[in-house]
Structure 1
């Protein structure tokens, strides 16, 4: 009987990983092809850049209220609804005849995506026992890496065949399959708690929920310091990545083909890191993964920033891509283990809102500085800031881990040793 229960548990985990993998694969196909469609429609690099501004804008419009819903409804049903909504919206994209209509659809798609992330985080935390979360997140990083490599390759192939619209529909189908897989997953709420959010949404509920998040952040200051510092790492990485193409062309003097090969090297690094992470993850602590992984990511960016040749940039790309799986696995496991599920949706939503705001501001500052000065000094300064944040994150991660271990020892009636 115990073996049957364990088999059922791992079957559910495998189904969830499959759903995540299929949705991510479709997402990469959609992103690459949408960029090419907008570029082909307008001939403007600025119009393509606008697609990347829409995502944090969607987070700003959504996350100040969506967490209040996420924590009060059945997360599995919410995820299914959001998958179906995104599938319909993406299927409508080929009928958008103007750039602004495309932006409107992309905004709605990303708003649904902004709600999906905290809902999935909460559901995964409920489904996966604590002892298995780190291993699950390692496999998730491996699947995400596979989607990162295969998705753009399929998108490029479809575009060369002259069928970009097919790629858009492929993503819609992927989301429908993901929704179907989620519908076969268990409802985790108890019957008494499984009722849909019956209260009418109001500003008072949203204000109350923000106070709850602020109160939790104060009571778990070290935990949320780790969470926020990792968000700052994401902010810096996104802002630096916005200068990637310019840096490669103007500083390194790469051709389009060489730049494509550079991105492929990053893809190889991601896959290699995800495989190693999956094999060795149980031997590493969460603090080592999130802190050490982040330091190595920032070192990779530093190597890239100081490079003056293709070889140097490729080395930096490989190091940072290889280390990403470790950092992401540590972050997801840390979040699941330290933020209570009853406030997880609200907490993740609020901090994602702050992250999106910082991304917009930081990307604008770095972009403007690159125009006023030159690209390489700005990228070097940005990566230096990123490295400082990662070192602080490493220190705070181990401090939090030590204090958490001492607290658990006291609760268990043990005498902590120094």
Structure 2
């Protein structure tokens, strides 16, 4: 698992507490274990949750807060105490630090100051700064249509990433109705995404870890629900919390999306570092890519996260040329996965990943190269302006019926 700081917060002021919570929840290397509105209840919270960090806001009652810091410093020395206040008088800061606070943060909070303070705590707890505070890379694997190989790409990408002992990798199956990531891994999970969501109100990192199925490759799986009616309980908000916990627990999260691009899928996409859009070189697929990219263009920052991956490249029958595909899409192809139908059928039917079934196959090497590119190990090739040219509105529209270029 990645080195994540578990934090408990106390602030009797509802407004400033919510502001602090929102900042902390938005950080990949932080998990907000608990928040509290009463100083007198906070020692019990610390005892029950044993967080790495306790954040105490002073302003509602500085005397009570400083006394609380002193008490916790003695009773829970393994919890680093961070004090926060709008008051910056030297005497207040001195008293707070003497009481046992590790850091003093000025409110309203400055993100850089918070990052620096938590970085120092992480370094002391986990050792080197390289080991602590590693953020999670989230790859959402999308398909231009059904049957293009997005699930096989997601599963095998996860297994390749999990080979590296420095990585901890989870796969979340968001094809809620027909997902089959568990089939690819020949797994019979004890728990599914539905079980996790049903316990969302008391969900924490430890409960989530116990709900995952670990494959022999090292990949952790959270599969789709077994019963169709259980999918109704999975909402945009619940999936955001599940993803937040997974991001806090792993260095890499692979999300296998459905082909519906529902609110749940879009919630996952907005949390992604990269969106891998898997397609083939045929007319229906490329038409769908154009349509999707038109929609993604309307969402701030999303278009730049999307990378187009061509699967089954080299399949001769009726394929559109790569040059023509580039011209139509108006952007480069991020990666090519070679056609190897026989191997992929064996992999799926045997429930064995490519790295085990066919470690030297071209498709396996293609997945390794994709993993390397996503992690920045391989420099992305620049666009060939002669072949592709600049992306323009007319290039999107010419593939869409009823719209004039």
> Which category describes the TM-score, using the shorter chain as reference length?
under 0.3
TM-score normalised according to structure 1 size: 0.24
The answer to which structure has the higher helix fraction is: 1
Higher radius of gyration, 1 or 2: 2
More strand by share: 2
TM-score (norm 2): 0.25
